[in-house]
Amino acid sequence: MSSNTQANPEYQLGEKESTNYINASKGLMSWLFTIDHKRIGLMYLFTIMGTFALGGFLALAVRLELFTPGQTIMGPDAYNRVFTLHGLVMVFLFIIPGIPAALGNFVMPLMLGAKDVAFPKLNLASFHIYVIGTVMALYTTLDGGVDTGWTFYTPYSSTIDSQVVMMTMSAFVLGFSSIFTGLNFVVTIHKMRAPGMTWDRLPLFVWALYATAIIQVMATPVLGITLLLLAMERVMGIGIFDPALGGDPVLFQHFFWFYSHPAVYIMILPGMGVMSELITTFSRKRIFGYRAIALSSIAIAVISFLVWGHHMFVSGQSAYAGMVFSFLTFLVAIPSGIKIINWSTTLYKGAISLDAPMVWALSFLILFTIGGLTGIFLGALGTDIHLHDTYFVVAHFHYVMMGGTAMAFFGGMHYWWPKMFGKMYNEFAARLAAWTVFVGFNVTFFPQFIMGSRGMPRRYYDYLPESGYQIFHQISTVGSWILLLGMLIMAVNLFSSLKNGKEASSNPWEARSLEWLTQSPPIEHNFHEIPTVVEGPYEFPIATATATPQGAESSDP
Amino acid sequence: MSQHDTHHDDHGGHHVTPLWLYHLIFGGLLCLTVITVWIAQFDFGPANTVIAMFVATIKASLVALFFMHLLHDERLNALTFGFGLLFVCLFFLFPLVDIGTRTYIDPIKDNASILKQEKIVKAQEVHAKKHKKALGNLSNLYNRSFMNVAEDEAEAKPVPAATTEPVEGDSTAK
Amino acid sequence: MESTTQTGSFWMPPQASTTAAEVDSLFDFIMDLNYIFFAIIFAMTVYFVVKYQKTDENPIATSDLSHNTVWEGLWTFIPLVLCLIVFVWGFRVFLNNTVAPDNAMEINVTAQKWSWSFKYDDGQTTSDLYAPAGQPVKLILKSKDVLHSFYVPDFRIKSDVVPGRYTTVWFEAMKPGDHRIFCTEYCGRQHSGMYRTVHVLSAEDFAKKKSDGFEGRPEGQDPAVWGKQLYSKYGCNACHGLEEGEVKVGPSFYGIYGRKGETADGQSYVANEEYIRESIMEPMAKIVKGYAPAMPSFKDQIGGDQMDAIIAFMKTLK
Amino acid sequence: MSTIITHEHAHHFYDNEQQASSAKLGMWLFLVTEVLLFSGLFVAYTVVKSLHPEMWRVASSQLDWVMGSVNTLVLITSSWTVALAVRAAQTNEKGEKNSQIVGLLAFTILCAFGFLIVKYFEYSHKIHDGLLWGKSYFNHPEAIEHLKEGIKQTFSMDVTALSSPEFLAGLKAHTAAGTHDGQHLIHHYASTVTYADTLMTVEQGHLFFGVYFLLTGLHGIHVVIGMSVLAWVLVLAQKGRFYKDYYTPVELGGLYWHLVDLIWIYLFPLLYLV
pLDDT digits (tens, 9 = 90+) for B26-83: 999 999 999 999 988 887 877 888 899 999 999 999 999 999 999 888 899 999 999 9
Cβ–Cβ below 8 Å for B126 and D51: no
* Mean of the per-residue pLDDT values of chain B: 65
Query: Looking at the complex, does the CB of residue A446 fall below 8 Å from at least one CB of chain C?
Result: no
Least CB–CB distance from B104: residue in A193, A251, A318: A318
Query: Looking at the complex, does the CB of residue B36 fall below 8 Å from at least one CB of chain D?
Result: yes
At residue B112 the predicted structure's pLDDT band, cuts being 50, 70 and 90, is very low
Overall fold of domain C2-98: Helix Hairpins (1.10.287)
Q: Which residue has the higher pLDDT, D32 or D146?
A: D32
Question: Does the pLDDT value for residue A276 go beyond 70?
Answer: yes
Q: What residue of B is the nearest CA neighbor of C98?
A: B106
Chain A residues lying within 8 Å of C295, measured CB to CB: none
Q: Is D213 helix (H, G, I), strand (E, B) or coil?
A: helix
The number of helices, as runs of H, and strands, as runs of E, in chain B is 8, 0
Cβ–Cβ below 8 Å for A382 and C92: yes
Q: Is there an interface between C and D (3+ Cβ pairs < 8 A)? A: no
Q: Distance between CA D183 and CA D112 in Å, rounded?
A: 35
Cβ–Cβ below 8 Å for C168 and B111: no
Residues 12-31 of A with CB under 8 A from B: none
Q: Å from D185 to nearest chain A CA?
A: 17
Question: Does the pLDDT value for residue A268 go beyond 60?
Answer: yes
Least CB–CB distance from B168: residue in D28, D61, D144: D144
What is the predicted pLDDT for the residue at C222? 80
Q: What residue of A is the nearest CA neighbor of C141?
A: A316
Q: Where are the alpha helices (DSSP H) in D52-179?
A: 53-60, 65-91, 99-129, 143-155, 165-174
What is the predicted pLDDT for the residue at C24? 87
Q: Distance between CA D169 and CA D190 in Å, rounded?
A: 18
Cβ–Cβ below 8 Å for B36 and D268: yes
Question: Does the pLDDT value for residue D114 go beyond 50?
Answer: yes
Out of A56-65, A544-553, C93-102, C150-159, pick the least confident. A544-553
Q: What residue of C is the nearest CA neighbor of B107?
A: C99
What residues does CATH 1.10.760.10 cover in chain C? 223-315
Question: Does the pLDDT value for residue B19 go beyond 60?
Answer: yes
Q: In 3D, which of A90, A78, A95 has the Cα closest to residue A54?
A: A90
Counting as contact any 3 or more CB pairs under 8 A, the partners of D are A, B
Question: Does the pLDDT value for residue B107 go beyond 60?
Answer: no
Out of A391-395, B48-52, D157-161, pick the least confident. D157-161
Least CB–CB distance from A183: residue in D29, D37, D38: D29
Over residues A406-428, mean pLDDT: 95
pLDDT digits (tens, 9 = 90+) for C12-28: 888 888 888 888 889 98
What is the predicted pLDDT for the residue at D138? 61
At residue D54 the predicted structure's pLDDT band, cuts being 50, 70 and 90, is low
Q: What residue of C is the nearest CA neighbor of A370?
A: C38
Out of A56-65, A521-530, D259-268, pick the least confident. A521-530
Q: In 3D, which of A127, A39, A63 has the Cα closest to residue A481?
A: A63
* Mean of the per-residue pLDDT values of chain C: 85
pLDDT digits (tens, 9 = 90+) for A81-98: 999 999 999 999 999 999
Over residues A116-126, mean pLDDT: 94
pLDDT digits (tens, 9 = 90+) for C162-181: 998 888 899 989 889 999 99
Query: Looking at the complex, does the CB of residue C221 fall below 8 Å from at least one CB of chain A?
Result: no
Amino acid at D90: Q
Q: Are A434 and A356 in contact (CB under 8 A)?
A: yes
pLDDT digits (tens, 9 = 90+) for A436-453: 999 999 999 999 999 999
Over residues B130-151, mean pLDDT: 33
Amino acid at A339: K
Please determine, looking at this structure, whether the domain spanning D29-273 carries the CATH number 1.10.760.10: no
Q: Distance between CA D166 and CA D155 in Å, rounded?
A: 19
Cβ–Cβ below 8 Å for A255 and D15: no
Q: Which of A228, A236, A258 to mutate to test the interface with D (most CBs of D within 10 A)?
A: A236
Over residues D178-197, mean pLDDT: 41
Over residues B134-150, mean pLDDT: 32
At residue B137 the predicted structure's pLDDT band, cuts being 50, 70 and 90, is very low
Cβ–Cβ below 8 Å for D43 and B95: yes
Classify each residue of D21-52 as buried b or exposed e, where b means 16 or more C-beta atoms within 10 Å of its C-beta: bbbbbbbbbbbbbbbbbbbbbbbbbbbbbebb
What residues does CATH 2.60.40.420 cover in chain C? 105-212
A251, with CB counted inside 10 A (0-12, 13-18, 19+), is buried
Chain B residues lying within 8 Å of A1, measured CB to CB: 1
CB pairs under 8 A between A and C: 267
Residues 179-208 of A with CB under 8 A from B: 190-191, 193-198
Cβ–Cβ below 8 Å for D154 and B64: no
How many residues are listed for chain D in this entry? 274
Q: Which residue has the higher pLDDT, B115 or C290?
A: C290
Q: Distance between CA C132 and CA A321 in Å, rounded?
A: 33
Cβ–Cβ below 8 Å for B105 and A318: yes
Secondary structure of A52-89 in HEC code, one letter for each residue = HHHHHHHHHHHHHHCCCCCCCCCCHHHHHHHHHHHHHH
Question: Does the pLDDT value for residue A143 go beyond 80?
Answer: yes
Question: Does the pLDDT value for residue C227 go beyond 90?
Answer: no
> Would you list the DSSP string of A405-454?
IIHHHHHHHHHHHHHHHSEE--HHHHHHHHHHHHHHHHHHHHHHHHHHHT
Q: What is the DSSP letter of C217?
A: P
Angle at D10 between CA D4 and CA D11, to 5 degrees: 110
Q: Distance between CA C52 and CA A409 in Å, rounded?
A: 25
What is the predicted pLDDT for the residue at D31? 95
Look at strands C196-201 and C129-132 and give their pairing: parallel
Q: Distance between CA A81 and CA C170 in Å, rounded?
A: 34
Question: Does the pLDDT value for residue B103 go beyond 70?
Answer: no
Q: Which residue has the higher pLDDT, C217 or A120?
A: A120
* Mean of the per-residue pLDDT values of chain D: 77
Cβ–Cβ below 8 Å for B3 and A248: no
Q: Å from B65 to nearest chain D CA?
A: 11
- Name the phi and psi angles at D102, rounded to 5: -60, -45
Chain C residues lying within 8 Å of B112, measured CB to CB: 165
What is the predicted pLDDT for the residue at D137? 67
What is the predicted pLDDT for the residue at C254? 84
pLDDT digits (tens, 9 = 90+) for C241-268: 888 877 777 888 888 888 888 887 778 8
Over residues C131-149, mean pLDDT: 91
Tell me how far CA of residue A529 lies from CA of A5, A522, C249, in angstroms. 11, 13, 68
Chain B residues lying within 8 Å of D184, measured CB to CB: 146, 149-150, 154
Cβ–Cβ below 8 Å for B157 and D150: yes
Helix axis angle, A76-88 to A120-142, nearest 10°: 180
Chain A residues lying within 8 Å of D136, measured CB to CB: 236-237
Tell me how far CA of residue B112 lies from CA of A383, B103, C169, C170, D45, in angstroms. 28, 10, 18, 20, 17
Q: Is C245 left (phi over 0), alpha (psi -120 to 50) or beta?
A: left
Share of chain D above pLDDT 70, in %: 70
What is the predicted pLDDT for the residue at D202? 61
What is the predicted pLDDT for the residue at D97? 77
At residue A554 the predicted structure's pLDDT band, cuts being 50, 70 and 90, is low
Least CB–CB distance from C166: residue in B105, B114, B174: B114
Q: Distance between CA C50 and CA A547 in Å, rounded?
A: 27
Question: Does the pLDDT value for residue D201 go beyond 60?
Answer: no
Question: Does the pLDDT value for residue B144 go beyond 50?
Answer: no
Cis before residue A521, ω within 30 degrees of 0?
A: yes
At residue D200 the predicted structure's pLDDT band, cuts being 50, 70 and 90, is low
Helix axis angle, D195-238 to D165-174, nearest 10°: 20
Query: Looking at the complex, does the CB of residue C149 fall below 8 Å from at least one CB of chain A?
Result: yes
Query: Looking at the complex, does the CB of residue A1 fall below 8 Å from at least one CB of chain B?
Result: yes
Question: Does the pLDDT value for residue B156 go beyond 60?
Answer: no
Residues 153-182 of A with CB under 8 A from C: 153, 155-156, 159-161
What is the predicted pLDDT for the residue at D203? 63
Q: What residue of C is the nearest CA neighbor of A350?
A: C61
Q: What is the DSSP letter of A201?
A: G
Query: Looking at the complex, does the CB of residue C87 fall below 8 Å from at least one CB of chain B?
Result: no
Neighbours of B174 (CB within 10 A): 7
What is the predicted pLDDT for the residue at D139? 52
Over residues C83-107, mean pLDDT: 87
Least CB–CB distance from C98: residue in B105, B111, B112: B105
Tell me how far CA of residue A227 lies from CA of A353, B30, C210, D62, D101, in angstroms. 47, 37, 48, 29, 39
Q: Is C258 left (phi over 0), alpha (psi -120 to 50) or beta?
A: left
Structurally, at CATH architecture level, domain C223-315 sits in Orthogonal Bundle (1.10)
Share of chain A above pLDDT 70, in %: 96
* Mean of the per-residue pLDDT values of chain A: 90
Question: Does the pLDDT value for residue B152 go beyond 70?
Answer: no
Is ipTM beyond 0.85? no
| Helix or strand run (H / E) with residue D198 | helix D195-238
Chain D residues lying within 8 Å of A217, measured CB to CB: 29, 32-33
Terminal CA-to-CA distance of chain A, rounded, Å?
Answer: 19
Q: Are C163 and A155 in contact (CB under 8 A)?
A: yes
Question: Does the pLDDT value for residue B118 go beyond 60?
Answer: no
Angle at A211 between CA A209 and CA A212, to 5 degrees: 60
Q: Distance between CA D195 and CA C301 in Å, rounded?
A: 31
Chain C residues lying within 8 Å of A353, measured CB to CB: 53-54
Chain C residues lying within 8 Å of A77, measured CB to CB: 189
Residues 184-223 of A with CB under 8 A from D: 184, 186-187, 190-192, 217-222
Question: Domain C105-212 sits in which CATH superfamily?
Answer: Cupredoxins -  blue copper proteins (2.60.40.420)
**Domains along chain A?**
34-551 (1.20.210.10)
A268, with CB counted inside 10 A (0-12, 13-18, 19+), is buried
Least CB–CB distance from A77: residue in C84, C86, C189: C189
Out of A136-140, A157-161, A265-269, pick the least confident. A157-161
Neighbours of D3 (CB within 10 A): 5
Q: What is the DSSP letter of A103?
A: I
Question: Does the pLDDT value for residue C7 go beyond 90?
Answer: no
Q: Å from A306 to nearest chain D CA?
A: 16
Out of A240-249, C45-54, D220-229, pick the least confident. A240-249
Tell me how far CA of residue B140 lies from CA of B145, B155, C250, D138, in angstroms. 12, 20, 54, 27
Q: Å from B106 to nearest chain D CA?
A: 18
Q: Distance between CA C8 and CA D129 in Å, rounded?
A: 64
What is the predicted pLDDT for the residue at D8? 65
What is the predicted pLDDT for the residue at A378? 94
Q: Distance between CA C92 and CA C99 in Å, rounded?
A: 11
What is the predicted pLDDT for the residue at A17? 79
Question: Does the pLDDT value for residue D150 go beyond 70?
Answer: no
Q: Where are the domains of chain D?
A: 29-273
Q: Distance between CA A556 and CA A540 in Å, rounded?
A: 22
Q: Where are the alpha helices (DSSP H) in C234-285?
A: 273-281
Residues of B with CB under 8 A from a CB of A: 1, 3-6, 76, 83-84, 87, 90-91, 94-95, 97-106, 111
Share of chain A above pLDDT 90, in %: 69
At residue A199 the predicted structure's pLDDT band, cuts being 50, 70 and 90, is very high
Over residues A543-552, mean pLDDT: 69
Out of A143-152, B122-131, C251-260, C306-315, pick the least confident. B122-131
> Would you list the DSSP string of A487-536?
HHHHHHHHHHHHHHPEEP-S-TT---SGGGTS-SSPBTTB-SS-----S-
